[in-house]
Amino acid sequence: MSAAKPIPGTIRPEGCALVTGASKGIGAAAAAALAADGWAVGVHYGRDAAGAQATVEAIEGAGGRAFAVGGDVADPAAADAILTAVEAELGPVLALVNNAGITDDGLAMQLEDDAFDRVIATNLGGAFRLTRRALGPMVRARYGRIVNVASIVGLRANAGQANYAASKAGLIGLTRTVAAEVARRGVTVNAVAPGFIATDMTADIHPDQLGAIPARRPGSVDEVAACVAFLASDAAAYVTGSVLTVDGGLSA
């Protein structure tokens, strides 16, 4: 009798994780959490090279392995350049965290084309192209983890963020469909949907808005990072196509 084939996607082979937008905030925390779980981590940044270097140094200081890589994810050529650089340094990318994102807020009736297009190209187009580039090696390795950092704004209204909401709702649609395409190769695709998280991106939010959150406080980047690390773990092998809200009950 021949030995039973291992179930695809349940045991992590040699490889690394890549977190986009990891110079600060949720991305930096996710990179640190993945490193703590034993992943070598590609720390991507858009413009903030110093921030990415700080993330790398924090990971190395904790005994982990990390490598900073720059690139504008809205640029169609960036996905291949970023993945190729990380693969050369740390080996195949078996976990991809699409976190890089921007906002450019305004009411829909006043939103300029450029503000709409730039947010979609970065938050959704960038995630798509990185996903497309990463999937081949993951499928062939019979192991992969893609975690898209969406937002509760992709699930419910937030006036003034039509472009950002569209990008995050799109990311959730991308998550579910790609999950269905590659599930039988041991590649999982999930999203986290943070609510109010204390970061630079939410620094301008009025304290009164926190009253709407059942937990009565903003979340921390580490609380989101813990969810990302779980979805990237072997333990989450049967979780795919899901959207994990991390919002203190705001969308409950």
Partner 1 sequence: MSTITNEAVEKTVIEALISFGAEPDEVTPETELTTLDIDSLDLAELSQIVDDEYGVTMKSSDVSKIKTVGDIVAVIVAKA
Q: Which of 65, 118, 176, 185 lies at the binding interface for partner 1 (CB under 8 A)?
A: 185
Q: Which of 60, 112, 181, 234 lies at the binding interface for partner 1 (CB under 8 A)?
A: 181
With tokens 């991390």, the residue in question is 246
Q: Which of 36, 139, 169, 215 lies at the binding interface for partner 1 (CB under 8 A)?
A: 139
Binding mask 10-49 for partner 1 (x = CB under 8 A): ----------------------------------------
DSSP E strands in the chain: the ranges are 16-19, 40-45, 66-70, 93-98, 144-149, 187-194, 243-246
Rounded Cα distance between 212 and 193, Å, is: 17
Is 238 tagged catalytic?
no
Residue closer to partner 1 by CB (options 136, 249) is 136
Helices vs strands, H then E, count in the chain = 7, 7
Rounded Cα distance between 152 and 169, Å, is: 9
Residue closer to partner 1 by CB (options 137, 160) is 137
Tell me: does residue 132 bind partner 1 (CB under 8 A): no
Tell me: does residue 140 bind partner 1 (CB under 8 A): yes
The SS3 of residue 212 is: helix
CB of 39 to partner 1, least distance (A): 23
Residue closer to partner 1 by CB (options 34, 178) is 178
In order, the DSSP letters of 39-57 are -EEEEEESS-HHHHHHHHH
Residue closer to partner 1 by CB (options 73, 182) is 182
Q: What tokens were used for 113?
A: 């084309």
CB of 185 to partner 1, least distance (A): 7
DSSP code at position 62: T
Identity of residue 203: A
Total residues in contact with partner 1, by rule CB under 8 A:
8
To 5 degrees, how large is the angle CA 5–CA 11–CA 12? 135
CB of 237 to partner 1, least distance (A): 18
Active site residues: 164
Contact residues toward partner 1 (CB under 8 A) are 136-137, 139-140, 181-182, 184-185
